[in-house]
Structure 1
Amino acid sequence: MTAQGFGRERVLQVLHEACARTGISPAGATELAFGENAVFALDRAPVVVRIGRDPSLLDRARREIAVAHWLAGQGVPAVRTAADAPEALDVSGHPVTFWERLPAPVRPAGATDLALLLRRVHALPEPPFGLPPRDLLAGVERWLRAAEGHIDPADADFLLRRRSRFAALTAALTPRLAPGPIHGDALPRNVHVGPAGPILVDLETFSTDLREHDLVVMALSRDRYGLPGREYADFTRTYGWDVMEWEGGAALRGARETASAAWVAQHVPGNPRALAEFRRRVRSLRDEDPTVRWRAF
């Protein structure tokens, strides 16, 4: 099943099949998110189900489960797999995983919460299993392919060329920090603050690579998504360093911009709002205009 078939009707079929395999009732399931994964909270059990778009994400889902178990063993606050949950299932070509449902947040996560968690992650040794490098640009072609016939081919070609250029630039970087395990998508939205305090969620991009990858995300949030400057200052002060003071910061930022523009493409079929945002992002990159604010999608 390809990304083009990742509609809500299809996802609900996969949800029911996965729950049938595990003996959990999907009755009353609530949709929490619908992006590269569809995420549902179950009503009859304290479980959240994540369903991936296509078979290529199965290995990533299995690795995410391994990361969750490893972080638990390291004492790092992070989301855990559901009790007695199976390993990642392949349900009609979609990877499916089961997670503990988190308590309601007591407050929104902030930049300081994220920075403190990243300091803990960045102090970890390598895990006893392999982690991939953080190839920010690996999904660009897949995301653009999902939008074929719905976006201007010239925009797709532009992003593919830009991907190649920034892949070469980032491969040549000399890091300031010691490489090692990273979260890979380090944003406050991937921190949940419950009664027990902040924890990391969405572990699917855990990698071993330049620690700077985790820091440039917030710089892009400030520059493209309007993160207030004081919050970025809180983040860098708490972490202890501003990645944009490093000569490689611009290259990592450019790579992430490229990936972020391409990522929206997979949502374009049947979604005029996604198409408008995709065009906005590509136009700002073509014009080399860093002042254009992007809309979160």
Structure 2
Amino acid sequence: MSAEFTEERARRVLAAAGLARAPGDARLLALGENAVFALASTVVKVGRESGLWERASREPRVATWLAEHGVPSVRPAEPKALLVDGHPVTVWHRLPPAVRAATPADLAGLLRRVHALPEPPFALPRRELLGGVERWLRLAGDAIDPADAAYLRARRDGFAQAAAALTPHLPPGPLHGDALPRNVHVSADGPVLVDLETFASDLREHDLVVMALTRDRYGLDAAAYAEFTSAYGWDVREWEGCAVLRGARETASCAWVAQHAPGNPAARAEFERRVASLRADDPSVRWFAL
């Protein structure tokens, strides 16, 4: 298993990149797949490992392409990603202060604009929703039960095969890939998309299943979900393929938590809650975000 990715490690990468020389120069905003830091006029994302290089190097290109099409999104402060001590690093302009929390309806409006776009002049990958499962389980190491890891691998393979056979309702094309209100920032100028690293070209239903799962697993209010579907103009739950993409998303979300289990008792407990609910085929068990 690779060395644990910590705030301290990410700060050393920032220093090596010449982006922050003292701890007070950067404020940690998030620590997950990336460590995200706020500096004076920029936001810096430090990727967990070199395996994230391809998507990190594509993200600034996606942002520039969105700007060319008038889609409000975060803008790169550096046109290309850096690779520093084995970690991909991207630098972004800081957005104006948020005036309120983003709503599902804000997200839906942005998704409508993204889903109307043609293919960009560069290649977008397929939405490999399950592609990270092996890496996340590897990072979890012996912090999780090997039987649980084997169960998730088998579940991944089954849903990958089922997803490949789906007939979409929407025209396939560019999509965000992690379509949640947390990836929308609302300033005085309105909502903008952030975290563009999972942009892909595939079934657009992927973006909509995220919110359906949020309603069912994470406690999103039914009225808020109704506002989302009304603003978008369609409810993905009406599509016969919804259960397959939902199952794939649940599998990926469970494995994603596993990578945080080493050294994080709360993450380990949440992983065990999620995998037990999948084994029991119990969709009523509430999941909690880390």
Normalising by structure 1, what TM-score? 0.95
Contact 2:60 2:79 in 1 (8 A): no
The yes-or-no answer on 1:10 pairing with 2:34 is no
Cα drift, residue 12 of structure 1: 1.0
Q: 1:3 to 1:40 in 2, by over 3 A?
A: farther
2:17 alignment partner AA: A
Distance in 1 (alpha carbons) for counterparts of 2:21 and 2:265 = 35
Q: How does 1:1-297 map to 2 (within 5 A)?
A: 3-19=2-18, 27-43=24-40, 46-82=41-77, 85-297=78-290
Distance in 2 (alpha carbons) for counterparts of 1:65 and 1:25 = 24
2:153 alignment partner AA: L
Contact 1:3 1:53 in 2 (8 A): no
DSSP-derived class of the 2:60 partner: helix
CA deviations over 1:191-239 (Å, ceiling 9, x no partner): 0000100000000000000010000000000000000000111111111
DSSP-derived class of the 1:282 partner: helix
Cα drift, residue 103 of structure 1: 1.5
Cα drift, residue 41 of structure 1: 0.5
Contact 1:39 1:51 in 2 (8 A): yes
Q: Which runs of 5+ in 2 are unaligned?
A: none
Contact 2:257 2:270 in 1 (8 A): yes
Distance in 2 (alpha carbons) for counterparts of 1:245 and 1:104 = 37
Normalising by structure 2, what TM-score? 0.97
CA deviations over 1:168-191 (Å, ceiling 9, x no partner): 010000001000000000011100
Distance in 1 (alpha carbons) for counterparts of 2:159 and 2:276 = 18
CA deviations over 1:150-176 (Å, ceiling 9, x no partner): 100000000000000000010000001
Equivalenced residue count is: 289
Between 71-80 and 85-94, the greater mean CA deviation after superposition: 85-94
DSSP-derived class of the 1:147 partner: helix
Cα drift, residue 87 of structure 1: 1.2
Cα drift, residue 59 of structure 1: 1.0
DSSP-derived class of the 2:96 partner: coil
Between 11-20 and 160-169, the greater mean CA deviation after superposition: 11-20
Contact 1:176 1:246 in 2 (8 A): yes
CA deviations over 1:89-135 (Å, ceiling 9, x no partner): 11010000000111211011001100100000000000000000001
DSSP-derived class of the 1:19 partner: coil
DSSP-derived class of the 2:43 partner: strand
DSSP-derived class of the 2:277 partner: helix
